[in-house]
Amino acid sequence: NILHNATGRSLIILDEIGRGTSTFDGISIAWAVAEFIHDRIRARTLFATHYHELTELAMTLNGVRNYNIAVKEWNDQVIFLRKIVDGGADKSYGIQVARLAGLPPGVIERSREVLANLEKSELDETGEPVIAHSENKEKALHQPDLFAARPHPVIQEIKELDLQTMTPLQALNLLAELKKKLEKD
C-alpha cells in the first residue's frame, strides 16, 4: 500500500522489509523496495534492516545514507549507546541481543557454534553441514521445567487475599508490609 500511495511529500518508515522469507528473497525484496522509493517516489524514508548487504545501496544511489546505532563491546557484553552514528553497521549483534532477551545459555552457546560453522561453511566427513550435529545441540535443547518452580511467598500471599473484605487503609498497610518482605529478599 505504501508503494502505491506515498508521494514525494511522504515520510516513509519501514522496518525489516523482506523478513519472514528466505534470506535471498528478503534481501531482493528489500533492495527493490529501496530502489523504487529512491527512484520513483523520492520520499524521505527511514529503512531499518538487518540485511547488511543493503548498505551497498549508498554507493549507487545518491540519496541513500547509512546510519547505525552506536554500540560498545565490553567483557563479552554489548552495550547499546542509544546514539545514531553515520555509516553502516560493521558487525551483527543478534546473538548478544538474544542473550539479553533471556534465551537459555545452552541455546546461546549453540547459536555461537552454528554461526561459526556457517561462517566457515564447515562440512563433516559425509558432506553434511557440521551445524546439524554437536554435543552442544543436546545442551541447547534442554529447557528448565517452568512448572516445577514455586511461586514467591509474597505472590502466593497476594493470590490468597480477599480484597472485597479489606478497607483501603488495610490494603495500604498490607501493601507496605509486602513491600518490606520483598526488600528483605
pLDDT in tens, 84-133: 999 999 888 899 989 989 999 999 999 999 888 888 876 666 666 566 55
Q: Would the pLDDT of 149 be above 90?
A: no
Range of weakest confidence among 88-92, 133-137, 172-176: 133-137
What pLDDT shows up at residue 52? Answer: 92
pTM metric for this prediction? 0.61
pLDDT > 90? residue 74: no
Give the pLDDT confidence score for residue 111 in this predicted structure. 92
pLDDT surpassing 90 at residue 160: no
Full DSSP string of the chain? -HHHH--TT-EEEEESTTTTS-HHHHHHHHHHHHHHIIIII--EEEEE-S-GGGGGHHHH-TT---EEEEEEEETTEEEEEEEEEES--SS--HHHHHHHTT--HHHHHHHHHHHHHHHHT-B-TTS-BGGG--HHHHHHH----GGGPPPPHHHHHHHT--GGG--HHHHHHHHHHHHHHHHH-
Fill in the amino acid letter for 113. Answer: E
32's CB contacts (< 8 A; 6+ apart) are none
**In this predicted structure, what is the pLDDT of residue 5?**
97
Cell of 80: 547499546
pLDDT of residue 130: 62
Residues 12-17 have a mean pLDDT of: 96
Instruction: Specify the pLDDT at position 27.
Output: 95
| Portion of the chain with pLDDT greater than 70, in percent | 84
pLDDT at 126: 63
- List the domain boundaries for the chain: 1-66, 150-184
